[in-house]
């Protein structure tokens, strides 16, 4: 019997966000590249030694300046030709952020997480120009820090890398098999060199195996891994984010030394995924090590006895070569719960952030051999009812009770209610909600938190901002105003702070992309609203103007997906609790005179299970939660929703099912594809297709926006009913500067007015 421990990824941002701060000062040219690298290397050394000192036997050498997929685009020499004038770290950061005249790579959600990776662009013929020297440096630094026998390189597997790629030219798609074959010599060379460096094994991360596509990848994986196994360095094939489904039977037979599996799957599904059942059914080959991902890498809740019980059940099944590890990389968790000083003590005791999860791994490995084994592997996962209940005893929706069906439907159909809602000119202009989160605003908030600024003075800062935003919207002539969201740190964190049942952290930062981090709130009790959340700011903003000001809420599904959910009740029950709380807010906004209420659901798509077979059940409760939160609105109140960051073409019935009066949707990166898809589907309510990309600092000229609106009008849905078309940017403007926002929106309004004149 051999029970070891491994890690497959850890927060790379530094315990106190050192890497973020170092990056941002470097980008502002306030520090040198050497200083940046010194901070990053030290953050890595500290993370690796933390894991080794805790007793982990094989430590995955995680660490990146920006993104782990970008590292491999860079190492493999896969930068698109538009970057050919750049090299070294200038190239690295240009791929991530662009430079004037050269657009950055696309960013996309990493599987079903809120982490964004940079999307590799592959030409029809893939010609890598590998240079792994920076990776070898890192491995050597790792070996120096924790010893050769413990330092394990992490490599993105070729199948996943190609699976995450997009064609450099949409009209010339690459062939997956040929692309992988073209990369294999570089991977072979990489493994050969790593072997020479004396690594104990290499981790090849292949999360693509947990998607619906996995079943089709058999031949691809077999040829890749028979080729790579020839190098003779032990390979740990690492999968995560879900079970590997039908691929299990063949994937565990690939010629590798270890296969790592995620026993837990989607966050908040306490019951785990199918991995336990698959291992039960097919067994596990005795010539391999099983990397047992039994410590939940995506939940901040401590795992209790589950990891040791799962391992004990595996031992009982006769699987005796096991490494205990987390189900996914720990990069999705905050660093260390000991930094929190204000969380309720009973909650702190039940939490485990990345550092504590490492300790859980070591503890499970030592406890498992003497733990009494459950009857089966699946029996080692606790039933929901056995999990510690953590209610506040509040009078809110009880998940065991059905919610009356009439609470899910508006009192009138769209066609009947539209004429009762606000009337606007053709091509009405509006924005998605947030205006720049300026350094002054953040500074004032920090001073307020530290008690250096009084509540009245902080409120004045917020009100002055809203006044500025109002005057500017008035001046350029937007049709529907927003208050600008100055009071919000983040669209999810803000609601978490205001709602009962949530805890929020001081230092629980999780990387979202590059140097941008979020602090996901923690749901730990029944969710409820203790009083109005957004009404005060709405009222003030509306008092300044005759134009309608939008009420601005984050939807139940997005709050859930961007928080850490509790594990003792289902995700759908939590979504319904959130929906009922937001429903009260919608009603209060309406009573306060709000005519247009926007409920954002940018994370609706991201919450889709990786496997298609599970889509329907997710979408059905997600759509119902949105409806539950909004349909309380009177027919005369216009409900808007906003979706962004993903492809929506495959969930059109769900989008239609939201029954929103206006759908604002990110569009500029996908041309008018989304509109065509909506037209084909027969969508018939108002649409605000984004007319420019907010992620770029470039100010869009009037004729560009006018051209964009005209292409939208060519789509048959809108050519026959142009009154359905709204004019707005792609998404919120919080990460931009006023100097970009002012001219961009001014141009947008001029473009809409030009169109009105032309089509009158």
Closer residue to ligand MET in complex, CB, 565/602? 602
Least distance CB 469 / ligand 39S (angstroms): 17
Could you count the other beta carbons within 10 Å of the beta carbon of residue 753? Answer: 17
Q: Long-range pairs for 410-417 at CB < 8 Å and ≥24 separation?
A: 410/631, 410/633, 410/635, 410/659, 411/634, 411/635, 412/635, 414/659, 414/661, 414/684, 414/685, 416/635, 417/635, 417/636, 417/661
Between β-strands 510-513 and 516-518, what pairing exists: parallel, antiparallel or unpaired?
antiparallel
Judged by CB under 6 A, the stretch of 186-194, 396-404, 441-449, 495-503 that binds ligand 39S is 441-449
Q: How many helices (H) and strands (E) does the chain have?
A: 26, 23
Residue 642 touching ligand MET (CB under 6 A): yes
What is the distance between the alpha carbons of residues 388 and 502, in angstroms, rounded to a whole number?
A: 16
Residue 689 touching Zn ion (CB under 5 A): no
Closer residue to ligand 39S in complex, CB, 168/491? 491
- Is 390 annotated to bind ligand? no
Helix (H) or strand (E) holding 3: strand 2-7
Judged by CB under 6 A, the stretch of 46-54, 329-337, 402-410, 489-497 that binds ligand 39S is 489-497
User: Residue 323's beta-bridge partner residues?
Assistant: 4, 291
Least distance CB 629 / ligand MET (angstroms): 15
Residue 644 touching Zn ion (CB under 5 A): yes
Residue 492 touching ligand MET (CB under 6 A): no
Residue 639 touching ligand MET (CB under 6 A): no
Residue 114 touching ligand 39S (CB under 6 A): yes
740 binds, among Zn ion, ligand 39S, ligand MET, none (CB under 5 to 8 A by kind): none
Query: Count residues contacting ligand 39S (CB under 6 A)?
Result: 17
Closer residue to ligand 39S in complex, CB, 443/612? 443
Instruction: Give the orientation angle of helix 615-630 with respect to helix 571-591, to 10 degrees.
Output: 20
Binding mask 404-433 for ligand MET (x = CB under 6 A): ----------------------------xx
Angle at 93 between CA 88 and CA 96, to 5 degrees: 135
Beta strands in 232-341 (DSSP E): 235-238, 258-262, 289-295, 321-326
3-state helix, strand and coil shares in percent for the chain, rounded to the nearest 5? 45, 15, 40
- Is 20 annotated to bind ligand? yes
Closer residue to ligand 39S in complex, CB, 114/463? 114
562 binds, among ligand 39S, ligand MET, Zn ion, none (CB under 5 to 8 A by kind): ligand 39S
Query: Which residues neighbour 634 within 8 Å (Cβ) at sequence distance 6 or greater?
Result: 411, 590
What is the distance between the alpha carbons of residues 503 and 747, in angstroms, rounded to a whole number?
A: 42
Find the radius of gyration of the CA atoms of the chain: 26
Least distance CB 159 / ligand MET (angstroms): 31
Residue 643 touching ligand 39S (CB under 6 A): no
Least distance CB 598 / ligand MET (angstroms): 7
Q: Which two tokens stand for residue 223?
A: 């040829």
499 in Cβ contact with 528 (< 8 Å): yes
440 in Cβ contact with 454 (< 8 Å): no
Q: Which two tokens stand for residue 507?
A: 């230092």
According to DSSP, residue 210 is labeled G
Closer residue to ligand MET in complex, CB, 71/606? 606
Closer residue to ligand MET in complex, CB, 58/552? 552
Least distance CB 288 / ligand MET (angstroms): 42
Exposure string over 277-315, b if 16+ CB within 10 A, otherwise e: ebbbeeebeeebbbbbbbbbbbbbbbbeebbbbbbbbbb
Closer residue to Zn ion in complex, CB, 577/728? 728
- Is 463 annotated to bind ligand? no
- Is 721 annotated to bind ligand? no
434 binds, among ligand MET, Zn ion, ligand 39S, none (CB under 5 to 8 A by kind): ligand MET
Query: Count residues contacting Zn ion (CB under 5 A)?
Result: 3
Q: Which two tokens stand for residue 458?
A: 């902080």
Residue 443 touching ligand 39S (CB under 6 A): yes
Residues designated catalytic: 695
649 in Cβ contact with 624 (< 8 Å): no
552 binds, among Zn ion, ligand MET, ligand 39S, none (CB under 5 to 8 A by kind): ligand MET
Residue 644 touching ligand MET (CB under 6 A): yes
Which of 602, 688, 700, 729 touches ligand MET by CB under 6 A?
Answer: 602
Which of 108, 376, 512, 740 touches ligand 39S by CB under 6 A?
Answer: 512
Residue 445 touching ligand 39S (CB under 6 A): yes
Which of 194, 352, 380, 492 touches ligand 39S by CB under 6 A?
Answer: 492
Least distance CB 515 / ligand 39S (angstroms): 6
Which of 678, 731, 752, 755 touches Zn ion by CB under 5 A?
Answer: 731
- For every residue of 22-56, DSSP letters joined together read HHHHHHTTSS-HHHHHHHHHHHHHHHHHHHHHHT-
Residue 600 touching ligand MET (CB under 6 A): yes
Closer residue to ligand MET in complex, CB, 9/551? 551
Dihedral sign (CA 238, 243, 247, 251): positive
- For every residue of 423-469, DSSP letters joined together read ---SS-B---SB----HHHHHHHHHHHTTSS-HHHHHHHHHHHHHHH
Which of 201, 243, 303, 490 touches ligand 39S by CB under 6 A?
Answer: 490
What is the distance between the alpha carbons of residues 576 and 557, in angstroms, rounded to a whole number?
A: 9
Closer residue to ligand 39S in complex, CB, 5/489? 489
- Is 506 annotated to bind ligand? no
According to DSSP, residue 303 is labeled -
What is the distance between the alpha carbons of residues 520 and 630, in angstroms, rounded to a whole number?
A: 24
Dihedral sign (CA 357, 362, 367, 373): positive
Residue 731 touching ligand MET (CB under 6 A): yes
Residue nearest to ligand MET (CB): 732
Q: Which two tokens stand for residue 381?
A: 């996962």
Q: Which two tokens stand for residue 54?
A: 């805790």
Residue 517 touching ligand 39S (CB under 6 A): yes
Residue 114 touching ligand MET (CB under 6 A): no
Residue 663 touching ligand MET (CB under 6 A): no
User: Residue 503's beta-bridge partner residues?
Assistant: 522
- Is 642 annotated to bind ligand? yes
Instruction: Please list every residue from 553 through 592 that binds ligand 39S, using CB under 6 A.
Output: 562
Residue 186 touching Zn ion (CB under 5 A): no
- Is 666 annotated to bind ligand? yes
- Is 647 annotated to bind ligand? no
Give the residue ranges of DSSP H helices in 100-252.
133-146, 158-163, 176-196, 218-229, 248-251
Query: Count residues contacting ligand MET (CB under 6 A)?
Result: 12
Q: Which two tokens stand for residue 651?
A: 């969930």
Residues placed in the known binding site for 5-methyltetrahydropteroyltri-L-glutamate? 20, 114, 562
Residues placed in the known binding site? 20, 114, 432-434, 485, 562, 600, 642, 644, 666, 731
Residues placed in the known binding site for L-methionine? 432-434, 485, 600
Residues placed in the known binding site for L-homocysteine? 432-434, 600
Q: Which residues bind ligand 39S (CB under 6 A)?
A: 114, 437, 439, 442-443, 445-446, 489-492, 512, 516-518, 562, 735
Q: Which residues bind Zn ion (CB under 5 A)?
A: 602, 644, 731
Q: Which residues bind ligand MET (CB under 6 A)?
A: 432-434, 491, 552, 600, 602, 642, 644, 731-732, 734
């Amino acid at each position: 019997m051999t029970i070891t421990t491994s890690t497959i990824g850890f927060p790379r941002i530094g315990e106190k966000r050192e890497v973020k701060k170092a990056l941002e000062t470097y980008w502002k040219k306030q520090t040198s590249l050497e200083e940046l690298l010194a901070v990053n290397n030290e953050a890595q050394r500290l993370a690796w030694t933390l894991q080794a000192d805790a007793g982990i036997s094989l430590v995955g050498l995680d660490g990146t300046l920006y993104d782990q997929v970008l590292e491999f685009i860079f190492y493999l020499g896969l930068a698109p030709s538009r970057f050919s004038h750049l090299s070294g770290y200038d190239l690295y950061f240009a791929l991530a952020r662009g430079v004037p005249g050269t657009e950055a790579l696309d960013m996309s959600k990493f599987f079903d997480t809120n982490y964004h990776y940079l999307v590799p662009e592959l030409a029809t013929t893939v010609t890598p120009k590998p240079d792994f020297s920076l990776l070898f440096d890192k491995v050597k630094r790792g070996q120096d820090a924790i010893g050769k026998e413990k330092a394990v390189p992490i490599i993105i597997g070729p199948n996943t890398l190609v699976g995450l790629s997009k064609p450099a030219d949409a009209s010339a798609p690459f062939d997956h098999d040929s692309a992988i074959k073209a990369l294999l010599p570089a991977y072979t060379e990489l493994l050969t060199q790593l072997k020479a460096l004396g690594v104990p094994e290499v981790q090849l991360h292949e999360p693509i195996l947990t998607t619906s596509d996995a079943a089709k990848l058999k031949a691809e994986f077999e040829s890749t891994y028979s080729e790579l196994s020839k190098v003779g360095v032990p390979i740990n094939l690492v999968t995560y984010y879900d079970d590997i489904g039908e691929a299990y039977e063949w994937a565990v037979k690939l010629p590798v030394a270890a296969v790592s599996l995620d026993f837990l799957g989607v966050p908040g599904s306490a019951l785990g995924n199918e991995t336990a059942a698959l291992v039960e059914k097919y067994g596990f080959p005795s010539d391999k090590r099983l990397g047992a991902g039994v410590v939940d890498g995506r939940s901040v809740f401590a795992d209790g006895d589950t990891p040791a019980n799962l391992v004990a059940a595996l031992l009982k099944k006769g699987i005796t070569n096991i490494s205990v590890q987390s189900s996914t990389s720990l990069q999705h968790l905050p660093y260390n719960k000991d930094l929190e000083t204000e969380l309720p003590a009973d909650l702190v005791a039940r939490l485990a952030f990345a550092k504590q999860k490492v300790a859980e791994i070591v503890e499970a490995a030592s406890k498992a051999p003497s733990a009494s084994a459950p009857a089966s592997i699946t029996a080692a996962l606790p039933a929901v009812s056995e999990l510690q209940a953590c209610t506040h005893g509040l009078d809110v929706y009880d998940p065991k009770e059905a919610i009356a069906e009439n609470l899910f439907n508006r009192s009138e159909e769209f066609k009947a209610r539209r004429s009762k809602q606000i009337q606007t000119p053709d091509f009405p202009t509006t924005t998605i909600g947030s205006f720049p989160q300026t350094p002054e605003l953040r500074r004032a908030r920090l001073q307020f938190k530290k008690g250096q600024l009084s509540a009245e003075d902080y409120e004045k800062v917020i009100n002055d901002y809203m006044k500025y935003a109002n005057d500017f919207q008035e001046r350029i002539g937007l049709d529907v105003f927003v208050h600008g969201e100055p009071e919000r740190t983040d669209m999810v964190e803000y609601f978490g702070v205001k709602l009962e049942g949530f805890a929020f952290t001081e230092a629980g930062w999780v990387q979202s992309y590059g140097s941008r981090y979020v602090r996901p709130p923690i749901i730990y009790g029944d969710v409820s609203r203790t009083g109005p959340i957004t009404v005060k700011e709405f009222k003030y903003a509306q008092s300044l103007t005759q134009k309608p000001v939008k009420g601005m809420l984050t939807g139940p599904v997005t709050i859930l997906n961007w928080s850490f959910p509790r594990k003792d009740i289902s995700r759908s029950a939590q979504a319904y609790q959130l929906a009922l709380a937001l429903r009260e807010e919608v009603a209060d906004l309406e009573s306060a005179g709000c005519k247009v209420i926007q409920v954002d659901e940018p994370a609706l798509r991201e919450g889709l299970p990786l496997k298609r077979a599970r889509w329907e059940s997710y979408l059905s409760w997600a759509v119902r939660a949105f409806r539950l939160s909004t349909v309380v609105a009177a027919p005369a109140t216009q409900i808007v929703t906003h979706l962004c960051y993903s492809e929506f073409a495959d969930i059109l019935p769900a989008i239609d099912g939201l029954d929103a009066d206006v759908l604002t949707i990110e569009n500029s990166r996908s041309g008018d594809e989304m509109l065509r898809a909506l037209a084909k589907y027969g969508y018939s309510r108002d649409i605000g297709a984004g007319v420019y990309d907010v992620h770029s600092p470039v100010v869009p000229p009037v004729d560009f926006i006018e051209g964009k609106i005209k292409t939208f009008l060519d789509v048959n849905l809108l050519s026959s009913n142009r009154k359905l078309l709204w004019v707005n940017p792609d998404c919120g403007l919080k990460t931009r500067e006023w100097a970009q926002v002012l001219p961009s929106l001014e141009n947008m309004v001029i473009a809409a007015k030009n169109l009105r004149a032309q089509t009158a």
